[in-house]
Amino acid sequence: MSDQLWSKSATELAGLVRSKVVSATEVVEAHLQRIEDVNPELNAIAVVLADDARQSARIADEKTRTEPDQLGRLHGVPITLKVNIDLVGSATSDAVPAFKDFYPPMNTPLVDRLLGEGAIVVGRTNMSEMGMRPTTDSTLHGLTRNPWHPGRTAGGSSGGEGAALASGMSALGVGNDLGGSLRNPAHCCGISTLKPTPGRIPWADSILPPDGPLSFQMMAVHGPMARQVADVRLGMEIMSGAHPRDPYSVDVPLYRADSNQPFKVAVMAAPPGAPTDPEVSSVVRKAGEAVAAAGYEVDEIDAPEYLETRQIWLDFLMTEVNVLQDLITEAMGPAGRQFLSDLFDHAGPLDLPGYIDLFVRRRRMSRVWNDFFQEYPVIIAPTWLDVAFEHDWDLKSVADTVDMLGPIQPANVLGLPAAVTFGGLAKGMPVGVQCIAAAFHDDQAMQVAEVIEAAVGATRPVSPFINAG
């Protein structure tokens, strides 16, 4: 069985180790071998923590023998962490040479929670420099390739996680999302994720600046990534909850009393403002049909004032990133600097009156969307308007890139949970279907994603490269 352990879900692996069908050592060795076999082609894992993982597996096996009633929910399960998440003994590099020797003094809270449940970190995954591009390429760790096609992006900025999970190098991963960085790789690599409501998972990393501007405080979130929605749920259950290091983190139940009950769902298969590839729209509509077949009432209708919501996100982010641009651009390589420069040319910062008015606009838009959620608790939409693009396509036209990623932006600026799961193929590449819900209704977003997954089938690891022609 050991040579197939890398293909199993985190939930399956935890059950096998707990029941002593396999040992944690066997599970870890299977994943380390998988990393050795496929990572040279993909470059998804930037730092392999083989020695630490083997030592942790030995400790886990001893605990299985001596304390079988004290095993955590991820006991013996290999996981990976993006390189901008604090893990003691491993650099929080943000994928730039300037931070390559930045070793954090303590773990971020979510890491302690995962380790406390028995997870074993086998590696750190690549990301775009400073998280500033929707693709994963960095001067420190190089280019990450999509396991479906070597010429296509794995998404960004958490593209290393997406590629590692999709190819079986890890059973569960953690990334973060300010502008789609969890959902972009899920779409490109055919896996599942949840961008949670801000405040659910504490944010307390030491990467400079540790607190960040208001846009980072209000929009940036950590979140779980996996091949199956059930593992995303498990990751959320473990990582959620208030922590004193994050003053905005909250204790809010993940599941509400009416969880798992059907409700009305809106389908926005072709968002306004820019053309959606017809094959992508078809996948989204089929996802809506699957949800309808499961007993939900489904209407095809656009989200309210969608284009204005997107504009608020862009204005907010670019006004504040402008303040940090010297720090950011100094650390980035030529491609990253070009992308950010082009982005400033496309959407310059607001003046002070415009910045103050931005929060008036955001407040009004939150009310408009909340009214919509009263009738349609979940919106099904594309994640991107097309499939994973070719490497460096984002450098050709920032305006086209911003439009391509348009569907991810409302959930960030309005603080909404958004799950993504594999919905099918278009042009031979995976399409992620996005399920957006009202704030703190993360369970409803995952619920609809799970219905789609049940109809399509949970993804299994792919071997590079199935579309190499």
- Give me the tens of pLDDT residue by residue for the chain, a chain 469 residues long: 455 999 999 999 999 999 999 999 999 999 999 999 999 999 999 999 999 999 999 999 999 999 999 999 999 999 999 999 999 999 999 999 999 999 999 999 999 999 999 999 999 999 999 999 999 999 999 999 999 999 999 999 999 999 999 999 999 999 999 999 999 999 999 999 999 999 999 999 887 667 888 999 999 999 999 999 999 999 999 999 999 999 999 999 999 888 889 999 999 999 999 999 999 999 999 999 999 999 999 999 999 999 999 999 999 999 998 887 777 888 899 999 999 899 988 988 999 999 999 999 999 999 999 999 999 999 999 999 999 999 999 999 999 999 999 999 999 999 999 999 999 999 999 999 999 999 999 999 999 999 999 999 988 899 898 887 6
| CA–CA dist 286, 386 (Å, integer) | 16
Q: Is 63 a catalytic residue?
A: no
Main-chain phi, psi angles of 31, to 5 degrees:
-75, -35
pLDDT of residue 344: 87
The answer to whether the Cα torsion of 148, 152, 156, 160 is positive or negative is: positive
Question: Does pTM top 0.85 for this prediction?
Answer: yes
| 82 has catalytic annotation | yes
- Per the CB < 8 A criterion, the answer to whether 298 and 263 are in contact is no
Q: Which of 8, 9, 23, 82 is catalytic?
A: 82
Give the pLDDT of residue 208: 62
Identified catalytic residue from 93, 128, 138, 157: 157
- pLDDT for 2: 52
Pick the catalytic residue from 158, 181, 240, 366: 181
Contact 426, 282 (CB under 8 A): yes
Per the annotation, the verdict on 249 as an active-site residue is no
Residues 324, 330, 331, 335: is their CA dihedral positive or negative? positive
Would you state the pLDDT for residue 257? 86
pLDDT at position 330 is 86
- Give DSSP secondary structure letters for 33-47: HHHHHHHHHH--EEE
N-terminal to C-terminal alpha carbon distance within the chain = 32
Give the start-end residues of each E strand in 64-119: 78-82
Interstrand relation of 149-153 and 145-146 (parallel, antiparallel or unpaired)? antiparallel
Is the separation of the CB atoms in 127 and 139 below 8 Å? no
Residue 78: closest CA among 33, 42, 39, 110: 33
